[in-house]
Amino acid sequence: MRFWFQSPPAQRSIKSTLIPVVLLLVFCCLASLFYGAGDVGPSEVVAVLMGAGSDDARFVVTELRLPRTLIGIFAGLSLGVAGALMQSVARNPLAEPGLLGVSSGSAFAVAIALALGASTATLSVGLAQLGALIGCFCVIGVAQMQGQRNDPIRLVLAGAALSSLLIAMTSLLLLYNERAADEIRFWVTGSIAGRNVDQLLSLLPSFVIAIACVVYVARPLASLALGERVAIGLGYKPGRIRLLVVFAVALLVGAATAIAGPVMFVGLVVPFAARALVGPDIRRTLCLCLPIGPLVILSADVFSRLVAQPAEMPLGVLTAMVGAPVLLAIVRAHRLPTL
């Protein structure tokens, strides 16, 4: 009898893989509620969740920790799914929204809005999604260039150059606008602290549209992975599939960036872990990205609260500390995984 971890990823059932991951996610959600801003311990949190507890404890749980947990789930899910989609459509395991300039494009659009008088509290999600959409087209354009499609390293270098250019333009913009710089200082490093449920609710319509697109393109993407001729033979149109994927990625990354800032490497780590667990099939990968994305964000956020008490470390710093070694490990592998 073979142990679960000795089985090839493709032979593991989704159910046997999802159950432990979902249990870990539940554990992280509880940790996110038990620890954080305010002097409220786990027993008081449980009392609030059961409908009791003091007014102070109720305020800390319902106004500070619960919104932060929900936003972490939303951001992780969006970035994880967006990363899997982008890697599948680019046929490149290193294609990651934050690494290739999609998140930077969204952040640049947000910086323009702040410089023109908007605030992070009234930020237009559509503007962030428009910036992400432009970043997506730049990335896909690079991926389709002759000779680049099968060269993951060159694609990452081109994406890093685009991302650096957008970050430099964002910094330059903020340099001449002190108010915008104050507004964006903590947001630009990636953080889910200080957001409220109303901001999250404003993202739900675009999120629902993006998930509907993901459900629609999951099967065609699996066919496209076998080659364009196979996909066309099965009745799919590769150009239309790619446009829908770009649209879904822009909605997901733009929404996540608008509420959490440009959180790097989540779109790289989450699909990488999902493929390691269930194999390269995009449908199985997307299913597993749903719980792994929130798990990564919430784990990093809880750790960021505990590692530098009473202050907090920005979430984006921790995800970069985890994601950068994963990127180096993939690059240094003797053989890059093919999609």
Q: The pTM is what?
A: 0.83
Q: What is the pLDDT along the chain (339 residues), one digit of tens a residue?
A: 455 555 666 666 777 888 999 999 999 999 988 887 667 788 888 888 887 878 888 888 888 888 889 998 999 999 999 999 988 887 777 777 776 777 777 778 877 877 777 666 666 677 777 777 787 777 666 656 555 555 556 666 777 777 778 878 877 777 776 666 666 666 666 667 767 788 788 888 888 999 999 999 888 888 888 877 888 888 888 888 888 888 888 888 888 887 887 787 888 889 988 888 888 888 889 999 999 999 999 988 888 887 777 777 777 777 777 777 777 776 666 555 555
62 contacts: CB under 8 Å, gap ≥ 6: 48
Q: How many CB atoms neighbour CB 215 within 10 A?
A: 11
Phi, psi of 195 (to 5 degrees): -95, 160
DSSP annotation string for 185-206: TTGGG---TT--HHHHHHHHHH
Helix (H, G, I), strand (E, B) or coil at 71: helix
Domains of the chain: 11-332 (1.10.3470.10)
State the Cα–Cα distance between residues 165 and 312, nearest whole angstrom. Answer: 29
With the C-alpha atoms ordered 33, 258, 210, 151, is the resulting torsion angle positive or negative? negative
* Surface-to-core class of residue 118, CB atoms within 10 Å of its CB (0-12 exposed, 13-18 middle, 19+ buried): middle
User: In one letter, which amino acid is 137?
Assistant: F
With the C-alpha atoms ordered 154, 156, 161, 162, is the resulting torsion angle positive or negative? positive
